[in-house]
Structure 1
Amino acid sequence: MTHPALQPGSVAVVTGGASGIGLAIAKRFAGLGLHVAIADLGRERLDAALKAVRADAKDGTQVLADEVDVSSPEALATLERTIADRWGGTDVVVNNAGIQPGSALFGPLSNWEKVFAVNLWGVIHGTRAFVPNMIRRGRPGLVINTGSKQGITTPPGDPAYNTAKAGVKVFTEALAHELRNTEGASGLSAHLLVPGFVWTELTKGERTEKPAGAWTAEQTADFMLKSLERGDFYILCPDNDVSRALDEKRIAWAAGDIVENRPPLSRWHPDWKDAFEAYLKQ
């Protein structure tokens, strides 16, 4: 069954909705008959996204696209008021905006600040801007925050991104618990979207063709909708290279570093390489 918040006439806001996973989700929502607000930066990108979402929308579905800096709580509060004035309130929030400029532990501090401002604070600000009034509305609702497998297994190479996405995981877990224990919020739930390798502006780099191992943004959006039907909190997406079973083993091994008192990130430690490979074959 379709989630009760995903009904014709419901209202959804998608940050980072001008491209990639956010755009694919916005198109799917509009196709279900939800009114959709796209929040992103870049007027030309937003205009193109607006046209694409409207092309997939059911008759009578309305779509708007606003320039919103998710690192600004004031900008998100303004968006919340705009949506409330136009459609009466919000039923679904997808805090999806993200950047990945790259980072190093002792590299430019500005990269860390930018990543945290968008990838972590953007999720926190978006939740705080929308959820209190969603609770007051007393309607079925969804809060979907986009995390990353890099925030769970934390591979070496981009510590700022990993740290921010780990924060999104912890924040969303806390939000789900809070909603479960808040009077009047029984119809409102939080979910952590954990994409696999997805072909988007964020991931393609200098490549011009989608690698065989990558999913499309549309595949990710469809998997998310099916997971929401099941009531999944952790929406752990596979891709064409990595199965659910392999993800589970990688995640379990990462947690095992603590339980087994192994070196951190032992999966990439030369002394544990053979043990990890043997574990995968079990």
Structure 2
Amino acid sequence: MLRPADRTFATSTDADRWLMRKRIEIEEGRWLDPAEGRTTVRDWSARWLAAVAPQLKHKTQATYRSLINSRINPALDDRELSSLRPITITEWVAAMRIEGLSASRIRQAYRVLSRFMASAVGNDSIPQTPCRGVRLPRMPQTEPHIVTPQEASGIVRAAEKPHDLLIALLAFAGLRVGEAFALRRSDVDVAGGFLPVDENLAEANGTLVFDTPKSYQKRLLRLAPSLAKRLGAYLEELPGGEDALLFTTPAGKPLRYNQWRKAYFDPCRLGGRPRRRDASRPPGLARDVGRRPVWRHDRRTPTWALERKRHHPALRQAGRRP
């Protein structure tokens, strides 16, 4: 198939040299169709996201889509893939910094752009990615607060029922908060003292979604006898069938993390009881008390340093998301 050159030449010698280089590229398998490089960022990002979405969790899909629609496309949507250079991406990052966007959000947006540009390289649309050599803003360094077992026990004692049991599972069984919110009656093996973890409750763009645990890894947790006993007593009073959620709102709806944290967890961190609220006031509007804890598995999972050999070694907290 004959294709026109992508530029004109001053002399026939220059044209012959260009044609020779292209023939060598074709013979060596290095030639790229210029038409592929003229695909716009908007079109390629949509095609890439549609291709990878089935492999992603619902929340990750929503995050990628949000970053593409709010950060990448408004700045680069009509640009052709082949026209992007590292300086283009550096200027884009600088514009987000000037706008006052957080370092975390900037790095997330860059990560998504980098992934679908790498996909463009892998599909022979462009010879190399423009996402190279770009300096990103540093994440702010914060000193984590490791809650001791004594503090954890105090938080559990301060919490109102059944949230005291929920917090105990987070602190002493190693559950992530989304996994605890997704626990059902059928998940609990009280007699054996085991807790299978095979489901996670996440919030994506305001919608609650039941999905697989982080990293798609199912696991089996061993409960301390005292905790298994408390959980068994709670199940005897829990209404509903085998698929009933263990922990819900007063209306029986699945818990939302931010509302639960503000209404039930944060007030207990200083040893106080959660404040009673009016029935007309939605849960989660209690004032945030004290510093927010950092998280281990993801930023939404409070964990504590447990120096109890029969459970697991000291847990270190690191504030990062998946």
TM-score range, shorter chain: under 0.3
- Higher strand residue share: 1
Structure 1-normalised TM-score?
0.22
- Greater Rg over alpha carbons, structure: 2
Structure 2-normalised TM-score?
0.20
- Higher helix residue share: 1
